[in-house]
A and B are shown apart, each in its own frame.
Chain A
């Protein structure tokens, strides 16, 4: 459905950040993209959604195909209209608009005006909390509520692929669980494919069917989610578990010598 073939991205015409990324999002699946800070996960999402151009970034090589058509030359607004919607990192709700106005803004590209009302109700169905807050100025919502609003706003565009950038950022563990459950529910009920970028590797691999691991602008490992969960290297470097299943601590610091095998 959505396919990246060997793309390279540079910023400001010099800085090479993505060095040949290939990945695929099949219809109706949740795919997760993991990696440390600065690995290029967000850049990958922005390359897909077209927001890269705002930041002086450019896809210089490779292609991005959505349902057989190349989209990496299109402007961001055309890509949204085609059915790819990015939920940006840090929620980015319109802080001076009310909750409901935020949802309406999400529906900007919709042609079928008549269904917008019923879709707002649907979003309230997924996030009952938002219904109570519908006339509240969204800048005063809590972090979790804003994240719900950001996801709900994405739903309003009726996308076929949703790109989620760190939905767990800055949220309490219990709330993370709740948000991820809703993401799974949306995926199942609406049939939306999801490309999920996360630091919280455990939560992400739990709901995804397939995962990619990025490092330094490359994909260093991929595989079905359960396989990645069992992989000793992934366990150690991303899930924070040692071979014994213990929490990693300073006591066994000698592990610093161990290299990530895929880097050598």
Chain B
């Protein structure tokens, strides 16, 4: 039983990070139908920026966390302005190819600046695990869970309640109609890239605190695909629920199946799910089926 709870906690932590990364991905897809292959690189750069501010600049962690979010906001706006804006009106496939190019470029840049070695954050959270009942949970896990929950709730409220959030969802529904409301569609695209960069950075920083940072962090960008396919490409609640589910699934299969089948099943499992979901429920669990009145 203890083992099960341990796995569940670890799964929820990783899952909530997946949920955040997926949230950014879904946002971009929803508002502009662009599939962003550079999500993992945004995560890497966010993590490295925070590390650089904390270690090399000697800024306290919380401060550098906040500064990183601001920098990520700027990065998102800059990417949209420099690369995506000129592509408006071009075929969507070209834009998707562009994000692949973008991902390779961003990865290259971060290798040039920060190298390929694994680097770790200084001890931000105490390494003494928190005891709850009979199980030990690393403190960093609890903080990650808390922080990502805060971000997820905040963004859900943002989309439901605020003027900009409603405008973003309206744009996702019907761009021309949104434009006729006086909503600047270009600014909505920019905003969605900025938010994607921010949530990816938060995810990257949390993962960096758990495992350290190196270039392989970008593979979390790929993990986002099983999550969003399961949740539905265009569903924000779907991204959150599916993120947690995939995290748990990975954790359980790592814990129970790895000893039986041999290691690595943990990495494969999400993609097995991806295939199954595509075969039986292509819109995902929460994806919007096209509403068509007959």
Q: Give the contacts of B155-182 with A (CB-CB under 8 A).
A: 163, 166-167, 169-170, 172-182
> Which of B169, B175, B179 has the most chain A CB atoms inside 10 A of its CB?
B179
User: Contact string, A78-103, partner B, CB cutoff 8 A, digits 1/0?
Assistant: 01110001101000111111000110
Which one of A105-113, A176-184, A223-231, A248-256 is at the interface?
Answer: A105-113
| Contact A108-B163, Cβ < 8 Å, known A77-B182, A81-B182, A96-B169 | yes
Q: Is the CB of B180 within 8 A of A85?
A: yes
Q: How many residues of B contact A (CB 8 A)?
A: 21
**B residues less than 8 Å from A93 (CB atoms):** 177
Interchain CA distance A109-B179 in the complex, whole Å: 11
Interchain CA distance A54-B176 in the complex, whole Å: 8
Interchain CA distance A49-B182 in the complex, whole Å: 10
Cβ contact of B179, chosen from A77, A102, A104, A142, cutoff 8 A: A77
Min C-beta distance of A41 to chain B, whole Å: 16
Interchain CA distance A182-B291 in the complex, whole Å: 28
Whether a CB of chain A sits under 8 angstroms from the CB of B293 is yes
Min C-beta distance of A93 to chain B, whole Å: 8
Whether a CB of chain A sits under 8 angstroms from the CB of B183 is yes
**A-B pair number, CB within 8 angstroms:** 80
Q: How many residues of A contact B (CB 8 A)?
A: 34
Q: Is the CB of A105 within 8 A of B181?
A: yes
Interchain CA distance A54-B179 in the complex, whole Å: 9
**A residues less than 8 Å from B173 (CB atoms):** 94-97
| Contact A105-B183, Cβ < 8 Å, known A54-B176, A94-B173, A97-B173 | yes
> Which of A49, A77, A80, A81 has the most chain B CB atoms inside 10 A of its CB?
A77
Q: Is the CB of A106 within 8 A of B181?
A: yes
Q: Is the CB of B163 within 8 A of A104?
A: yes
Q: Is the CB of A140 within 8 A of B182?
A: no
Whether a CB of chain B sits under 8 angstroms from the CB of A157 is yes
Interchain CA distance A209-B163 in the complex, whole Å: 37
Interchain CA distance A153-B183 in the complex, whole Å: 13
| Contact A105-B166, Cβ < 8 Å, known A77-B183, A88-B176, A92-B174 | yes
User: Contact string, B180-212, partner A, CB cutoff 8 A, digits 1/0?
Assistant: 111110000000000000000000000000000
**A residues less than 8 Å from B179 (CB atoms):** 51, 54, 76-77
Min C-beta distance of A165 to chain B, whole Å: 10
Min C-beta distance of A191 to chain B, whole Å: 20
**A residues less than 8 Å from B174 (CB atoms):** 92, 94-95
| Contact A108-B176, Cβ < 8 Å, known A96-B169, A96-B291, A97-B166 | no
Q: Is the CB of B170 within 8 A of A105?
A: yes
Interchain CA distance A80-B180 in the complex, whole Å: 7
**A residues less than 8 Å from B182 (CB atoms):** 76-77, 79-81, 108-109, 157
Whether a CB of chain A sits under 8 angstroms from the CB of B288 is yes
Min C-beta distance of A242 to chain B, whole Å: 37
Min C-beta distance of B138 to chain A, whole Å: 40
Q: Is the CB of A104 within 8 A of B177?
A: no
**A residues less than 8 Å from B181 (CB atoms):** 80, 105-106, 108-109, 153, 157
Q: Give the contacts of B201-231 with A (CB-CB under 8 A).
A: none
Nearest A residue to B160, CB-CB: A101
Whether a CB of chain B sits under 8 angstroms from the CB of A139 is yes
Q: Is the CB of A140 within 8 A of B291?
A: yes
Whether a CB of chain B sits under 8 angstroms from the CB of A26 is no
Whether a CB of chain B sits under 8 angstroms from the CB of A62 is no
**B residues less than 8 Å from A95 (CB atoms):** 173-174, 291
Cβ contact of B170, chosen from A76, A94, A143, cutoff 8 A: A94
Cβ contact of A96, chosen from B163, B177, B178, B288, cutoff 8 A: B288
User: Contact string, B66-90, partner A, CB cutoff 8 A, digits 1/0?
Assistant: 0000000000000000000000000
Q: Which 3 A-B pairs have the closest CB atoms?
A: A80-B182, A139-B291, A109-B182
Q: Which residues of A contact B (CB under 8 A)?
A: 49, 51, 54, 75-77, 79-81, 85-86, 88, 92-97, 101-102, 104-109, 113, 137, 139-140, 142-143, 153, 157
A-B contact pairs, 22 of them (CB 8 A): A51-B176, A54-B175, A75-B184, A77-B179, A77-B182, A77-B184, A88-B176, A92-B174, A92-B177, A92-B180, A94-B170, A95-B174, A96-B288, A101-B169, A105-B166, A105-B178, A105-B181, A108-B167, A109-B181, A137-B291, A139-B293, A140-B291
